[in-house]
Amino acid sequence: MRSARSVKPFVVKPFVVFGLVAVAATACGGGTTPGGGKVRDSGRGADQGRARQVAAAWEGSEAARVWREGYHPLGDPVQLPEGAFHDDADKRAYLTQNFELRGSLPDAPQKKARIRWPGGDSLALPLTSARAAYEQLDRGGNAGPALTVTGARLGDMTLLTSRGPAKVPAWHFTVEGYDTPLKRVAVAPSKLPAPPVKAVSRQTDELGPLAGPAAVADDNRTVTLRAGHGSCDDGPAVDVLETGGSVVFSASIRGVSDGPCTADLRIEKVTVKLDRPVGDRMLLDAFTGRPVPYEQPGSASPSRT
């Protein structure tokens, strides 16, 4: 265990460096939890005792019931047109969120829209206007290349959620040069319940908060997260505690050293392969004690701000 004196707290500067390296967490070690889950410990120093505490607090809690009755997406709220992108300019426009509107956007046809799951469950939530959905896409405002939107209609899209795949209301935006639409979810996620466990009071290199969203791949076992680290270490790691009702992720930092360091926060994608599918299990952050729903970097969801 490294001494707390070696910890260098993150200071966020006006810039953030986004890493592109995916770090795979591997399984070794073991143990059990109250829910019969298997402890997967990669041996990188994360606090598994805290992970067990978070899992036990959520198991059978009122917060867990509220969570399971809500809409919590685990996939990207945007689905690109077929064949995207035609060239590097279009790709750059999308990544920099640079859009141009040439045409009018329709008003919302109703106040609420319904999410539907295959088993027959459904949930009605306030419908986001086409204008609001477009503004979630168009955040660049720079002089670079732009994707041109010429109209929109209300439809749906299939999206993985905490309750499995669902048909979710979505605005279908017509993009100049593409035969199929760009789809953007038209409802905001449900409000997160108050967690049954408090966040850790102080960040260390052994345990810190996840820095961004969780996205679950089509195999329902591969989870991609974002974790932060500094300039004087070997990067982030994420350990996993799997139980019958939850998956708890513990973010830590590998190889912290003392030398002169710049005070910037670096974010890397960390990919974790679970022992079994996510299913309807909650994805939890050991540091905050909260669920880790999917949110795009820089997005502003009314239910979570």
Domain boundaries, the chain: 11-70+193-285, 78-185
Buried b (16+ CB within 10 A) or exposed e, 273-297: ebeeebeebbbbbbbbbbbbbbbee
Q: Which pLDDT score is estimated for 15?
A: 27
Percent of the chain with pLDDT over 70: 75
- Mean pLDDT across the stretch 156-162? 91
The 3-state DSSP class for residue 275 equals coil
Q: Which pLDDT score is estimated for 12?
A: 31
CB atoms within 10 A of CB 224: 16
Residue 43 predicted with pLDDT over 50: no
Residue 38 predicted with pLDDT over 50: no
The answer to which of 74-88, 132-146, 231-245 has the lowest mean pLDDT is: 231-245
Query: Which range, 29-38, 40-49, 140-149, 211-220, is most confident?
Result: 140-149
Residue 303 predicted with pLDDT over 50: no
Check residues 297 and 100 and name the one with the higher pLDDT: 100
The region, left, alpha or beta by phi > 0 then psi within -120 to 50, assigned to residue 162 is: alpha
Q: Which pLDDT score is estimated for 226?
A: 84
Residue 84 predicted with pLDDT over 70: yes
